[in-house]
Amino acid sequence: MIRTVLAAVMLCVIAGCTAMKIDDFDGTAPAFVPEDYFLGETRAWGLFQDRFGTVRREFVVDIEGRMEGDVLVLDEAFRYADGERDQRTWHIRPLGDGRYEGEADDIVGTATGVREGKAMRWTYLFDLAVGDRIWRVSFDDWMFLQDETVMINRTTVSKWGFTLGEVYIFFKKPELSGAVGETAAQASQDAAQ
CB-CB contact of 143 with 122 (8 Å): yes
The answer as to whether 101 is a domain residue is yes
Q: Is residue 9 part of a domain?
A: no
Spell out the residues 6+ positions from residue 4 whose beta carbon is closer than 8 angstroms to its own. none
In a domain, 8, yes or no: no
- Please indicate, yes or no, if residue 68 is contained in any of the structural domains: yes
Asked if the peptide bond before residue 30 counts as cis, ω within 30 degrees of 0, the response is: yes
**Beta carbons within 8 Å of 99's beta carbon, 6+ residues apart:** 112, 113, 114
Among candidates 113, 154, 147, which has minimal Cα distance to 31? 147
Residue 143 backbone dihedrals phi, psi, to 5 degrees: -110, 140
pLDDT at position 133: 94
What CA–CA distance (Å, rounded) separates 23 from 138? 22
Say yes or no to pLDDT of 112 above 80.
Answer: yes
**Length of the chain, please?**
193
Q: Is residue 15 situated within a structural domain?
A: no
Whether the predicted pLDDT of 4 surpasses 90:
no
| Separation between Cα atoms, residue 98 and residue 183, nearest integer Å | 33
pLDDT digits (tens, 9 = 90+) for 18-35: 589 999 999 999 999 999
Q: List the domain range (segments joined by +) for residue 162.
A: 24-192
pLDDT of residue 130: 84
pTM: 0.81
Asked whether residue 144 is domain-assigned, the answer is yes
Tens-digit pLDDT profile for residues 69-96: 999 999 999 999 999 999 999 999 999 9
Give residue 189's pLDDT band: very low, low, confident or very high (50, 70, 90). Answer: low
- Yes or no: say if 143 and 155 are a contact pair by the CB < 8 Å rule: no
Q: Determine, yes or no, domain membership for 127.
A: yes
Q: What is the pLDDT of residues 120-170, one digit of tens each?
A: 999 999 998 888 999 999 999 999 999 999 999 999 999 999 999 999 999
- Alpha helices per DSSP H over 17-162: 34-37
CATH number for the domain spanning 70: value is 2.40.128.20
In a domain, 19, yes or no: no
Q: How many domains does the chain have?
A: 1
**pLDDT, tens digit, 9 for 90 and up, residues 36-68:** 999 999 999 999 999 999 999 999 999 999 999
